[in-house]
Structure formats: C-alpha cells, structure tokens
Amino acid sequence: MATINRNLSEYDKNTIPNAKGLRFGIVVSEWNETITSGLHQGAVEALLENGVNNDDIVTWHVPGSFELVYGSKKMLQTQNVDAVIAIGSVIQGETKHFDFVCEAVSQGIKDLNVQTDVPVIFCVLTDNTMQQAIDRSGGKHGNKGTEGAVAAIKMAYLRKK
C-alpha cells in the first residue's frame, strides 16, 4: 500500500515552487462528504501555505465522484485556472458499482489531461473501507488533499515553463 511508512501530508516546502499568482480550481464530490471535506480542507491549506491567494482558489461541488470529470471539464472551460484538483471518495461495497465508478473517473481525468493543456489532478480515494478513507483524509496517514495540492502546484508551474 502506498501509504505504508508515509504521511500524505508531509512534504519539503523547499521543493515546491511559489504558487503566488497562480489560480486553482477544486472540484469536490458531495458523496462521502465527511471524507471529501477533509480532503478539500487539506488541499486549500496546502495551496495557501505555498503562496496562493484565497481569491485564486475556486471550489465547485458535484454530486458524486462520477461527476468530477464533467465538473473538471467545465472548470477548465470557464474559470481560467492553472490546474484543477478533482477530489472524491469511492468506498468498496457489495456490488461492481465501485469498479465502474473508479474506472470511469480515472479514465475521464486521464482524458482531460490528454485533451487539454491544463493539468487535472486525480485526488480520488478508492478505499476498501470507510476507515481507510478516514485515515487518508486527515487521519493517521495524513491527507491526500495536501498531496493533491502539492501535485497541482508542481504541474501548474511545469505548465508555465
């Protein structure tokens, strides 16, 4: 597992470009809201810690993780952002729904990265249990939202080069 012996919230600030003047979009799933709100909080805090002005963070909410792709696409088309962070949480259940949603969202976000010039960061937890999601959204493994924001800053900086 990727989080073994690793805290998702830890990063070396010296390796992150200053993000002042960059604009970020965050599209957040309302499904599993206790998880996605924690991820969103981690992302916003990391962006602010690295020089982003609060006014340069645009947050939209969509009903579920499946809708992150469309929400991210509309964000790219209308908000003049330097990167988008797609935040969601899908937890394994008793049916194949989990597999279909995870596959569609990952492929959709990949497609946006191939089709557009603005990076879209995959910050979707795909956990087997609610406890795993809690552990990765501000719990014992840190916050994947922080990691998503760091990736967004680095990719936005790469885009500007």
Could you read off the pLDDT of 73-117 as tens digits, one per residue?
A: 999 999 999 999 999 999 998 888 888 999 999 999 999 999 999
Residue 20 placed within a domain: no
141 is catalytic: no
Rounded-to-integer distance, Cα 82 and Cα 118, Å: 6
Residue 4 placed within a domain: no
Residue 27 placed within a domain: no
Of 29, 3, 8, 9, nearest to 105 by C-alpha is: 29
Please state, for a pLDDT cut of 70, what percent of the chain lies above it.
96
Tokens found for residue 66:
């499946």
Residue 45 pLDDT greater than 50, yes or no: yes
Domain containing residue 82: CATH number: 3.40.50.960
Asked if residues 159 and 118 have their Cβ atoms less than 8 Å apart, the reply is yes
Residue 70 placed within a domain: yes
Residue 153 placed within a domain: yes
DSSP string over 32-100: THHHHHHHHHHHHHHHHHTT--GGGEEEEEESSGGGHHHHHHHHHHHS--SEEEEEEEEE--SSTHHHH
Find the catalytic residue in 40, 61, 97, 141. Answer: 97
Number of structural domains (the chain) is: 1
Q: Is the pTM of this model over 0.85?
A: yes
Residue 3 placed within a domain: no
Structural domain span for residue 97: 32-160
- How distant is the alpha carbon of residue 5 from its chain centre? 21
pLDDT tier, 4 (very low <50, low <70, confident <90, very high otherwise): low
Tokens found for residue 146:
């922080």
Residue 56 pLDDT greater than 70, yes or no: yes
